[in-house]
Amino acid sequence: MILLTTSHRPTRRIRSLCNDLTRSIPNSVGVNRGKMNFFDVAAKAIELGTNKFVVVDRWKGGPGRIRFFKVMDEEIKEVAPRLYVSGVKLRREFGTSREEVRRVFRKVFLDMDEMGDEEIGKLASKLSEFFELPALKKSEARTLKYEAYLRIAKGEDFWAYLSFHILPSNMEVGPRIKISHVVWQV
């Protein structure tokens, strides 16, 4: 299980992104942060039976950074990578039905079909490990009855993007997160 939360004083867009991520990532729980400090967030994660949590930070009124944390030996450690976000397209903005917007995915894999770039492959393996998503090719996943997949691809005017697609149609349903850059030394 993974806890997803926001920075203090989140905007509606940040809350919507967190809600979309909790629906898209299996075994994740969204928690309103309120006035909780990092120790309170870590305690809440442990209370929910996990040692991992994700914080979506605010930058200029929108999602600006995504950080990953683990609670190890009663310490909170940020783990690489730290993702800097340049834009987000939410599920409701894809023009899908209300049912599709609220659909919760139970079985998701990380698509390894387009891992030509070494840095993208490194990001994919870190996200696969952190979120406990199997890294498969779409042809391998067809027989395993997955509902959706996370795709990481190189961007044109940004470093890369993360996006969720449903099966069997391969239609993008979101959220789509544009990543401006990644920091590996955290």
Are the beta carbons of 12 and 19 closer than 8 angstroms? Answer: no
Tell me the average pLDDT across 69-83: 92
CA distance 54 to 121: 21
Q: Any idea what DSSP says for residue 50?
A: -
* The pLDDT of residue 104 is above 80: yes
Tell me the average pLDDT across 100-127: 87
Tell me the average pLDDT across 58-80: 91
Q: Which two tokens stand for residue 110?
A: 């990380």
* The pLDDT of residue 81 is above 90: yes
Domains of the chain: 2-183 (3.40.50.10480)
Beta strands in 20-90 (DSSP E): 28-30, 52-59, 62-72, 75-89
| Rounded alpha-carbon distances, angstroms, from residue 172 to 60, 92, 168 | 27, 12, 11
Tell me the average pLDDT across 148-171: 90
C-alpha dihedral sign at 151, 152, 153, 156: positive
Give residues with Cβ within 8 angstroms of 117, minimum separation 6: 154
Give residues with Cβ within 8 angstroms of 159, minimum separation 6: 179, 180, 181, 182
Q: Which two tokens stand for residue 9?
A: 């004083």
Q: Which two tokens stand for residue 144?
A: 């395993």
pLDDT (0 to 100) of residue 109: 93
Tell me the average pLDDT across 49-76: 92
pLDDT (0 to 100) of residue 154: 87
More confident: 22 or 95: 22
Tell me the average pLDDT across 67-75: 91
Give the DSSP H or E segment for 152.
strand 148-154
Tell me the average pLDDT across 4-30: 94
* The pLDDT of residue 67 is above 90: yes
Give residues with Cβ within 8 angstroms of 143, minimum separation 6: none
Tell me the average pLDDT across 32-39: 89
